[in-house]
Chain A
Amino acid sequence: MKRLISYLVLPVEISAFERQYLARMNRIALIFFFCHIPVFIGVAALAGTSPTRAAILTLLALIGPAVAYKTLQNPRHLSVVFGFTAMCMGGILVHIGQGSMQIEMHFYFFVLIALLAVFANPLAIVTAAVTVALHHLTLYLLLPRSVFNYDASIWAVVVHFVFVILESVAACFVARSFFDNVIGLEKIVQSRTNALSDRNRDMRLVLDNVGQGFLTIEPNGTVSAERSAIAARWVGGYVPGKKIWEHLGELDSAGADWFRVAWDSIADDVLPLDMSIDQLPRRWTAGKTTFSLEYRPLIVDGRLTQMLLVMSDVSAQLEREQSEIEQRDFMRLFQCLLKDKKGLLEFFSEADDLVSKIVTPEVTGPELRRLVHTLKGNCALFGLSALAAFCHDLESNLLDAGGAMTGSKREQLGRIWGLFASNLRSLLGSDRADRVEVDQTEYAAVLDALDGNAAREEIALRIKTWQFETARTRLTRIAEQTRAIGSRLGKGSLNVVIEPNDVLLFPESWSAFWSSFTHAIRNAVDHGIESPEERLAVGKPREGQIRLTTKLLDDELWVEIADDGRGIAWNLVRERAAAAGLPHESREALVEALFHDGLTTKGEISEFSGRGIGMGAVRAICRKMGGSVQITSTEGKGTCLSFRWSNVHDRLDALVLGPISSPTIENQTQEAEGHLQ
């Protein structure tokens, strides 16, 4: 019974779809019933019953639905009223249609009961059936038995009733099925749609809270509406038809044209797609913010259907990286200061000199390139990666742009150098480079000499040499740098041997040379020394060996760097020289070619070498100082680079100094006496 009730009575909730549908149906029903008025009048006229009465009765029957239509809130209740009304109409029709068609008029009831299914509400049908029953019941109750005889007509009524029941049951079934499947279907669709929009909302929530901006771009460059919230913040809201470069152009107008050109190349389909995508800009700045741009192509059937652009705000990250680099540099600076203050200070004054030359607008061309190259190398040696990287970029730009520096680049270099200089000054404090450091033994020796009355000139000379730098110090420093380069280039731990031979050099004269000497070191390590595996393969000891020598002999100063590496590949040099149009017949010509700017036997340009500038630079300085260069090399055995200066005695900037000269006889005796006593 409960099931029956729940079948006939619809669930309480009325969906919007049902409401809409019932509103329509109820409106149609009202109009339908009102249209009965003329029809019934016509029928009455045809049947010979009173048309007036027909009109009055019909209007009476319409009062109910009209009132209900205006006042009832629940559309289902209104449908039920129509169920009742339908039966009333049927009754009226039967009444006025009496005569030849009276039986046939009863068809109206059955048609209407079926039509009531349209309300998708079994209760409307039940109401109609109940109305009919009530109608007959009322009659039964109202009329006095005594007067009337029912027997004759009762069976007719019973048959009617059976048909009404039958049809009502069927119509209820139809109505309920309609409700469950059509209106219910709409409910299912609605709930699915709701579930979907819930999911969309969740997705949206995820996207909105993701830190990256996602944008979808059509092949023609227009940006789709879907974007994560943060993308909308960065790039603006959806504007139909607006292109991605227009959006980005608002952040940074300069790059917009470039983006467009780069995007067009994808459409041109000249280059392979991944290459075209690689050429799209990876970074985009908007004032203080830097974005990284990543592109993910969506390819269907081999064609690009959409491009997903992932924007990330990397400003913080870049700043962090930058400050990490700066901190690292600062640390390294500090370490250098602790390990080799003199060297650092020397480097600083030299580099300062280089920088001031570089930022001079008049300096251009190969000269400028050489300066930048040298600066870069030195910075790299001292581990000043920020500056070295800047120089590297600068070098590439110089090659491209034809050898001149733009004002902004000059300014940038000045700024970076200024930062470094101030860092250094802060570390040094009030330290100045104009001090002389003397180690203890030297100090003691001079005191002894004074005590021992050595010759004034000698002592003076000795003291003068305190300003000189021992080759030992210099070569030790260079050796360290060499080892550092070696490990950085993957040549293992190099065995660096120094032979200073007590040479003393006046720093100021030689600093330029030492500065560009680094090129020779780099070349030796990079080109000369093989990788540990290669060395083992040819039977050499695993570690490469580099020998740094200074010697003063027969009034000639030698500075040599020798390696036991693979030696110079003279035929390669010949090839390259030939390709470059240089003379390449004799050994001398080849040596000359080797020092030529721009010649390299290296396949790639690395941070260290490969541009072919170094050798030329160092030779130039050597010659400027009045020296000459020699190369000896045996393929497979090694290379030796010798720098030679003659007439050292006249130079006053290179000395060999032994111990202070032996004291005079008087002194010796005194000393001996001193000893004896």
Chain B
Amino acid sequence: MAATVLVVDDSRAIRQQVGDALATAGYSILEAEDGVQGLLRISEQPDIAMVICDINMPHMNGLEMLAKLKADPSNAALPVLMLTTEGKADLIQQAKRSGAKGWIVKPFKVDQLVAAVRKIVGR
């Protein structure tokens, strides 16, 4: 059974890129375009293995989503990887405080991201 990865990003291009790459690597993909949708997807499908989440999104940004997500103790073990632009140390620290597992800087190489997912999720 393939692990499910949720990709939350308001940029369609990024969702497509990341989604395709992970799908090729054998993961099953869910997408959301902002924090609200992201939380919705997670509530709909509880056995998500990992979340890749942009910080800058409309309606509800990544940090807010992360905070709401981790407020629920059943999500404590869910690894969340934040996507961000370079130089935003305070955002990253905030993310880590809120329980993010790690973070990736944009632009990134898609195959590196796949390797990271593989390392975190396994398989």
Contact = CB atoms under 8 A, between A and B. Distances in A.
Interface of A: 254-255, 257-258, 260-261, 265, 268, 270-272, 274-275, 278-279, 281, 396-397, 399-402, 579-580, 598-600, 603-605, 610-612
A398 to B, nearest CB: 11
Contacts of B109: 278
A261 B106 contact: no
B122 interface: no
Contacts of B79: 270
Contacts of A598: 12
Given A261-B92, A400-B85, A611 B115 contact: no
A278 B112 contact: yes
A272 B89 contact: no
Contact of A258 (B17, B86, B104, B107): B86
Given A270-B120, A279-B104, A605-B13, A261 B20 contact: no
Contact of B102 (A257, A265, A612): A265
Contacts of A610: 13
11 contacts: A254-B87, A258-B87, A261-B89, A270-B120, A271-B116, A281-B86, A399-B11, A400-B56, A401-B56, A604-B17, A611-B13
A260 B96 CA distance: 13
B87 A255 contact: yes
Contacts of A274: 112
Contacts of B85: 397, 400
Nearest to B90: A257
Contact of B89 (A260, A402, A580): A260
Given A271-B102, A272-B112, A272-B115, A603 B89 contact: no
Interface in B1-52: 11-13, 16-17, 20
B103 A265 contact: yes
A598 B11 CA distance: 9
A249 to B, nearest CB: 11
A261 B112 contact: no
B13 A600 contact: yes
A663 B111 CA distance: 74
A611 B17 CA distance: 13
Contacts of B104: 271, 275, 279
A258 B88 CA distance: 7
A275 B118 CA distance: 13
Q: What 4 A-B pairs have minimum CB-CB distances, sorted nearest first?
A: A270-B102, A257-B89, A258-B89, A271-B116
Given A254-B87, A401-B56, 6 more contacts: A257-B90, A258-B87, A271-B102, A274-B112, A396-B107, A400-B106
Interface string B81-123: 1000111111011000000011111110100100110011000
B83 to A, nearest CB: 10
The binding surface of chain A is classed by DSSP as helix
A272 B116 contact: yes
A579 B7 CA distance: 14
A258 B112 CA distance: 21
A604 B16 CA distance: 9
Given A257-B89, A257-B90, A258-B87, A402 B119 contact: no
Contacts of A281: 86
A270 B120 CA distance: 7
A402 B57 CA distance: 8
Contacts of A400: 56, 85, 106
Contacts of A275: 104, 112, 115-116
Nearest to B115: A272
B23 to A, nearest CB: 13
A396 B104 CA distance: 16
A605 B79 CA distance: 28
Given A268-B102, A275-B115, A400-B106, A603 B16 contact: yes
Nearest to B55: A400
A521 B88 CA distance: 38
Contacts of B11: 399
Given A258-B87, A261-B93, A399-B11, A271 B56 contact: no
A595 B51 CA distance: 32
A603 B16 CA distance: 8
Contacts of A599: 12
Nearest to B110: A604
A597 to B, nearest CB: 10
Contacts of A261: 89, 92-93
Contacts of B101: 270
Contacts of A600: 12-13
A605 B102 CA distance: 25
A366 B19 CA distance: 25
A580 B109 CA distance: 24
B65 to A, nearest CB: 16
Contacts of B115: 272, 275
A580 B112 contact: no
Given A257-B90, A279-B105, A603-B20, A402 B58 contact: yes
A64 to B, nearest CB: 79
Contacts of B86: 258, 281
Contacts of B56: 400-402
A596 to B, nearest CB: 11
Contacts of A605: 13
A279 B102 CA distance: 12
Contacts of A397: 85
B119 A272 contact: yes
A274 B119 CA distance: 12
A257 B103 CA distance: 15
Contacts of B92: 261
Nearest to A270: B102
B30 to A, nearest CB: 13
A578 B31 CA distance: 14
B14 to A, nearest CB: 9
B11 to A, nearest CB: 6
Contacts of B12: 579-580, 598-600, 612
A260 to B, nearest CB: 7
A260 B11 CA distance: 28
A219 B90 CA distance: 22
Contact of B17 (A254, A278, A603): A603
